[in-house]
Each structure stands twice: as C-alpha cells, then as structure tokens.
Amino acid sequence: MSSAEVAAVVEAACEDDELPEKIAGGVLTYQQIPLKRFAKLPEETRLAYVRRTLRDKRASDLGLYVLSAALTRRQAALISSFLEALKLPHEGPSLTTEGAIPAPVAKALRRAVDALLNVHEARDVALYLHAFASQPDVDWPVLGDLLESDRRLALEDRSAS
C-alpha cells in the first residue's frame, strides 16, 4: 500500500475509539521506542513509525486488524453485499458466526466476486478479498486461486509511493 493508502486506512480504523491505543502499543513494541520519546516526536515522524509498523511482517496481525477495522467502516456496502451473496450470516459488514467459515461453492464465489467488481473499484474489492482470505477462520482454496489468477484482484506494491 502507498503511504497515502496506509494513512487513509489508519484514519478510518481510528474511528474506533480503542484502535489508536492498539496501534500506538504496536509501534512502541515493534519499533522498541519508549513512550516518552515517541510522544515528543513530530507528528509526521510518529505517522512514519505507524506506517513502518503496519508494514512490518512481525506486526501482520496488527496490520490485518487495522485494515479490517478500516474496511468495515469505509466499505460496509461492499462487505455486506459479498456476505449476502454468499449467504453468510452477518449484521451489516460483520460476520455473526464464530469459528471456521465454510467455503462456498466455487461458482457462487466467482459470481459474488464478479458482482463486487461490477459495482466497486477493483482496488477496494482486491483489498477486501485479500484481507478476508487472510483471516484465520477462512480456508477457501478457491478464493486463494482466484486472488492469484484474476489480474483484477492483483495487489501491486505501492509501498514506494
């Protein structure tokens, strides 16, 4: 993701009152910065540390959590329509099931993805589906294959911008 995309994700995720503290805790932990020092840094430097932390492979759980929170807030219609198309139990953009999420029939999944791509920006659909596939309760080989083979769902590296 580009720096601007990461900033937008963090901004959206931080609409949840508990998230800023989790992000700050992750930055302090993964970047090994004392709180007093971090608090004294200029805002742009603190934001750079946040971006670096969210891109850090060691903080992948935190990054996925932040991305999921942002997507739930900003892409509720996209998520709801995907869950509805697959007849997964949900309230708005949030699944209401616990544990492993059963994989849908391949044809239904492809139809749901195509429907999303017809209505939403491909980048938004790709971000959501990659995040969804990364959830620990999702083991959908067909979705993994689709994410690898459908160039509309490719996530090019924008981290340098």
d(CA 90, CA 77): 12
CB 79 within 8 Å of CB 128: yes
Q: Which residues contact 20 (CB under 8 A, 6 or more apart)?
A: 14
3-state SS class at 128:
helix
Strand partners, 94: 91
Res. 158: pLDDT tops 80: no
pTM of the prediction? 0.80
Q: How far apart are CA 63 and CA 20, in angstroms?
A: 13
pLDDT value at residue 9: 83
Predicted confidence at residue 67, as pLDDT, reads: 87
Question: H or E segment at 136?
Answer: none
> CA nearest 112: which of 75, 132, 83, 89?
83
Q: Strands 90-91 and 94-95: what pairing?
A: antiparallel
Which band of pLDDT confidence, cut at 50, 70 and 90, is reported for residue 160?
Answer: low
Residue 160, H or E segment: none
Q: List pLDDT tens digits, range 34-92.
A: 999 999 999 999 989 998 998 899 998 898 888 888 888 899 999 999 999 999 999 99
